[in-house]
Each structure stands twice: as C-alpha cells, then as structure tokens.
Amino acid sequence: MALHNKIDKRVLKEKLKESKEERLTISFYQYHQLESPETFRDDLYLRWDKLGVFGRIYLAKEGVNAQLSVPASNFEAFKADLYSTHWLDGVRLNVAVEDDGKSFYKLKIKVREKVLADGLNDETFDVTNKGQHVDAEGFNQLAEDPNTIIIDMRNHYETEVGHFKGAITPDVDTFRDSLPIIEDMIEEHKEDKNLLMYCTGGIRCEKASAYFKHKGFKRVFQLEGGIIKYAQDARKKGVENKFIGKNFVFDERLGERITDDVISHCHQCGKLCDTHTNCVNDACHLLFIQCEECAEKYNDCCSDECKDFIALPEEEQKELRKGVDLGTNIFKKGRFDKMAGKFKEKIQQKQQGIKN
C-alpha cells in the first residue's frame, strides 16, 4: 500500500471544498526519544488514513509535532488510537478556535531531523529544564506586572495580524532567527524581570524557555497550550482576553480570528486588512496580505509581474520557471523582490525571441 496520496492537490482541494463532512482541526506536540521514527511513521500513516485524518505531521528522533484535521464522527476513535501509544497517552490536544473544517486536504507524515527547526544543539543544555507553565489567568496576572517582559516567539508574518497587548514582536522570518535577537534585546534583565513567552500552540516556548534558562534568565514563564488554548480558556472561563486580532495558523486557513480587531494592512494598497494569501503564480507563492479589491485587481497575485506571468500560456510558464530555485519556505515575505526581476527579464527575452 502507498504511504502517501498521489491524487492531484487541486482535485483534493476541490473535493474538500464541496464536502459537507464536519471536521475538527487539532494540533499537538510531544518530545520523546524515538528509536525509529521511520517505522513509527509508516504505522501511523496506515492507522490514521483509515480514520480519514488529514494533516501535516513531523516526526523526528526527538518526538512529534502535528497539525491535522479529523472527521468529527471519528474524533473519539482517533483519540483512542492516539492515546494507545504510551508516550502520547493524555497528550494535550489543541482544538482550533475558528474552524470551517477546511484546514487540510490530505495526510502527510514526514520524518525530519527535528520536529522544530530551532538551530540549537540540544546536547549543550538541558532541554527538560523548561520554564514554568501558566494558564490564561496566570498569564494575565503576569502580563499586568510591570516587572514582566512579554515576548512573542513567532515570526513577523504571524505577529503582524495578531499579538498580545504590550508584547515584544521581533521582526524575524524564523524561530531560529528569533532566539539570539531576543537574547540581545533583554540581556540586561536576566535577574530582575519576568520573561513571559507565548507562541501558537506551545511547542516553540518548550524549547525557548529551556534555552533562555540555560542562558541565565532566572524567572522564565510560558503560556501553556499557546494562543489556541488561551483563547479557548478565556471564552470558557470569562477571563479577559488580552490577545488582539488574528492567530496565524500553518494550514489552508492561514488564520483564525480571536477578536474583531484588524491591526494590519493590505500590502498592496495599505487598506486595513488581515487576510493572508499565497500568490497564485506557481513560480512565486509569496505569502502576503491582500484585500478583496486588490485580489480582483491583481488576479490573486502579489504584483503586476506575477499577474502578467500567469496570463502566459501554461507551457510558457513552465519553461520560464525552469532553473528557478523557489525553496520550500513560502512563508518568507520580501523574497519576490529578487525573483520578479528574473521573470521579467525572461518574459522580455521570450517576447524578443531570444532563447535561454
């Protein structure tokens, strides 16, 4: 049996779009020493494929990091299956705050070097010596303390659409980038300030809190379950919600609304907007914020260059894309500035009949 889906993604997306099946979007992580993540991966795929699970799951020798969706009718069966693995028994499941059931369209389980690309050598410090977990109420109490520094451990495209009031939001592209930058920013407060961290679901803070304690920070706290659990608990318990805007998520939704506040702007016209999208040009896929008017004006593209590019016949587009290394980081803004010139030049050469 094939352990991956070979059906064209456009077909799968259309099928999901038309489906009336109720699905739940869930995320979880767990650090655990796995001897053979490859074997576990194969077993997991066979089990979850039968349950209709879609999602993106990363396995490594250090554990698992999972974002997935499961048919609501199979949720209890999925949970029983998950908890049947001893080291995952009772693991916290973060259920999406705002969910239309369209978060993932296929099941993808990959084995990686690490479940989180942090750039750290885990052998140089005790990764189990983590910061103190706090719930929504504990987070709010610390946030109101003038001796607290609130740190957003996410990337700039995430914090741009939503963050906690008063939080430091480093202008970084990756979690790996953020650690040394944050350390430099708060170096002088190792002894006298509370370091209160948060992220989407908690996994980045698990590693970051241990790292900062290793670096000498004395009072390190982290929001348990991240923004997702905080928003859920704030609603259930009637706790003041100190988060404003949207919570960026790494699935087809690209965001779930926490409050009605819109704190960002369309990257093309400057209008208030917090709708992330990826440029539809297959040679670009740049992540950016686009309002409805600009989506219509640019045909869902990030620029005139990409709009012109997708207007070309498909075969010409394929020819022009040859030799262009896009990489896999579609969440990095600003990359198009370097790429656009290449495509513009190629298009001009094509029009002039010059062969590349």
Looking at the structure, tell me whether residues 227 and 160 fall in a common domain.
yes
Q: What is the residue range of 96's domain?
A: 9-111
DSSP string, 191-224: TTSEEEEE-SSSHHHHHHHHHHHHTT-SSEEEET
DSSP string, 61-74: TTEEEEEEEEEGGG
The letter for the amino acid at 248 is F
Q: Please confirm, yes or no, whether 294 is among the known catalytic residues.
A: no
H or E element at residue 90? none
173: in domain? yes
H or E element at residue 319? helix 314-321
Digitized pLDDT (tens) for each residue of the chain, 356 residues in all: 456 666 667 777 777 777 788 999 999 999 999 999 999 999 999 999 999 999 999 999 999 999 999 999 999 999 999 999 999 999 999 999 888 888 999 999 999 999 988 888 888 888 888 999 999 999 999 999 999 999 999 999 999 999 999 999 998 888 988 999 999 999 999 889 999 999 999 999 999 999 999 999 999 999 999 999 999 999 999 999 999 999 999 999 999 999 999 999 898 888 999 999 989 988 888 889 999 999 999 999 988 888 999 999 988 888 887 766 554 434 455 433 333 444 445 444 544 443 33
Beta strands 148-152 and 194-198, pairing class: parallel
Active-site residue (options: 199, 266, 284, 294): 199
Distances from the Cα of 292 to the Cαs of 256, 268, 271, 274, 333, in angstroms? 18, 11, 10, 11, 20
Looking at the structure, tell me whether residues 324 and 219 fall in a common domain.
no
3: in domain? no
251: in domain? no
Looking at the structure, tell me whether residues 95 and 135 fall in a common domain.
no
333: in domain? yes
Give the phi and the psi of residue 229 in degrees, each rounded to 5: -70, -35
